[in-house]
């Protein structure tokens, strides 16, 4: 396929309710979408970076620059046999995995359409439906948290993840376990603790948690290995894993026993597949993490979650949990048994509502291979 044009758009979506983590609270999402045209088809990807450089170093604004000035020029007008060729071409750009992923994932969407297959099938996915968990932001009180958990359990979600930070951890876990002793429960610290907090974190072992996600520094593997040796509860790594090499290092150092794979964080479907395959070979379960995506990012997460090795419920929930109105149709829905049926239409399996995307767009730029060729010809 030849990349004929690329359009990047920034849209604004308001969350139904503020979402609080150890980074802070967010009410509005700035989302950068990437639309690629190739071979008569249009594919969509989503930049999953946050509004500020708090989860990682990428933001919506840095992603716009990197896409416009570096990623798009590298692919525009190029021919590809398969999307798996794209990461090598973009490897000259260090980091900026979320920007790269948005472009690569859009090309995967096109490839699936051209093969007449749902994206999940093209990736090698086997599951007709995926198990869903839910991520709950930090609440003001334990009672408020329990009400939120009971609401999500009633909606069918199979696993509950609660965000924590120092001062809002043990009291909340204790209250949840007292009220709901048998639910699948995990906690996510988003790097809010230090290795010196190990005696405090050891107390988490009393609450039968599935895992503690990323308790220590966002770029650390070594100290997580020290902490894991002190805990009965499995550590799950998130922020500090960006590629297969870091995955290997983490598992060889025994820094974790579970791996969270986020498409944007690892640079797209190609690297996500490599990480999942490696973890499966080592008997390490993986699951799909979420980044408050719109329906486009959510659709890609669903496809990835069908791969072998994704054995734990991921943070892939229904559209209506976050948005009054999504940008795809049909919207993502969760069954009463806490699963999402994998779409069977070619590509990502959902129709992007272009009219709604246009209405939400605050800026956009389109880059055409034909225009670029004309400019280069004139310069020569």
Residues involved in catalysis:
163, 262
Residue 280's Cβ-count burial label (10 Å; 0-12, 13-18, 19+) is middle
Question: In angstroms, what CA-CA distances link 204 with 142, 188, 278?
Answer: 16, 12, 29
Q: How far apart are CA 289 and CA 62, in angstroms?
A: 22
Q: Sign of the C-alpha dihedral, residues 248, 254, 260, 265?
A: negative
Question: In angstroms, what CA-CA distances link 193 with 59, 204, 214, 232?
Answer: 23, 13, 9, 17
* DSSP state letter for 212: E
Q: How far apart are CA 57 and CA 70, in angstroms?
A: 17
Helix axis angle for 295-304 and 269-281, nearest 10°, is 30
Contacts 24+ apart (CB under 8 A), 234-237: 234/210, 234/258, 235/211, 236/186, 236/211, 236/212, 236/260, 237/213
Contacts of 361 (CB under 8 A, 6+ apart): 9, 10, 11
Residue 315, SS3 per DSSP: coil
């Amino acid at each position: 396929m030849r990349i004929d044009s690329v359009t990047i758009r920034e849209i604004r979506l308001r969350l139904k309710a503020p979402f609080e983590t150890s980074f802070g609270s967010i009410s509005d999402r700035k989302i950068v979408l990437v639309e690629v045209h190739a071979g008569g088809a249009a594919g969509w990807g989503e930049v999953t970076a946050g509004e500020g450089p708090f989860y990682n170093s990428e933001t919506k604004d840095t992603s716009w620059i990197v896409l416009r000035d570096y990623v798009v020029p590298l692919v525009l007008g190029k021919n590809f046999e398969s999307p798996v060729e794209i990461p090598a071409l973009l490897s000259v750009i260090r980091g900026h995995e979320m920007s790269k992923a948005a472009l690569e994932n859009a090309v995967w969407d096109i490839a699936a359409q051209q093969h007449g297959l749902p994206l999940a099938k093209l990736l090698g996915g086997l599951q007709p439906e995926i198990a869903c968990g839910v991520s709950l932001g930090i609440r003001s009180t334990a009672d408020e948290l329990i009400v939120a958990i009971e609401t999500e359990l009633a909606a069918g979600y199979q696993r509950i993840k609660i965000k924590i930070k120092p001062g809002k951890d043990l009291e909340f876990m204790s209250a949840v376990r007292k009220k709901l002793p048998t639910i699948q429960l995990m906690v996510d610290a988003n790097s809010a603790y230090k290795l010196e907090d190990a005696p405090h974190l050891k107390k988490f072992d009393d609450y039968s948690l599935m895992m503690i996600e990323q308790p220590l520094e966002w770029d650390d593997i070594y100290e997580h290995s020290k902490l894991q040796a002190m805990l009965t509860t499995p550590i799950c790594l998130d922020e500090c894993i960006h590629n297969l090499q870091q995955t290997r290092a983490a598992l060889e150092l025994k820094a974790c026993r579970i791996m969270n794979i986020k498409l944007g964080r690892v640079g797209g479907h190609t690297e996500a597949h490599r990480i999942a395959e490696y973890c499966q070979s080592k008997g390490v379960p993986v699951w799909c993490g979420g980044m408050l995506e719109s329906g486009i990012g959510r659709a890609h997460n669903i496809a990835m979650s069908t791969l072998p090795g994704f054995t734990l419920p991921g943070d892939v929930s229904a559209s209506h949990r976050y948005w009054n109105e999504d940008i795809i149709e049909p919207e993502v829905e969760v069954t009463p048994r806490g699963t999402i049926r994998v779409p069977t239409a070619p590509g990502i399996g959902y129709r992007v509502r272009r009219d709604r995307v246009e209405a939400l767009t605050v800026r956009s730029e389109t880059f055409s291979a034909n225009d670029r060729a004309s400019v280069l010809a004139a310069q020569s």
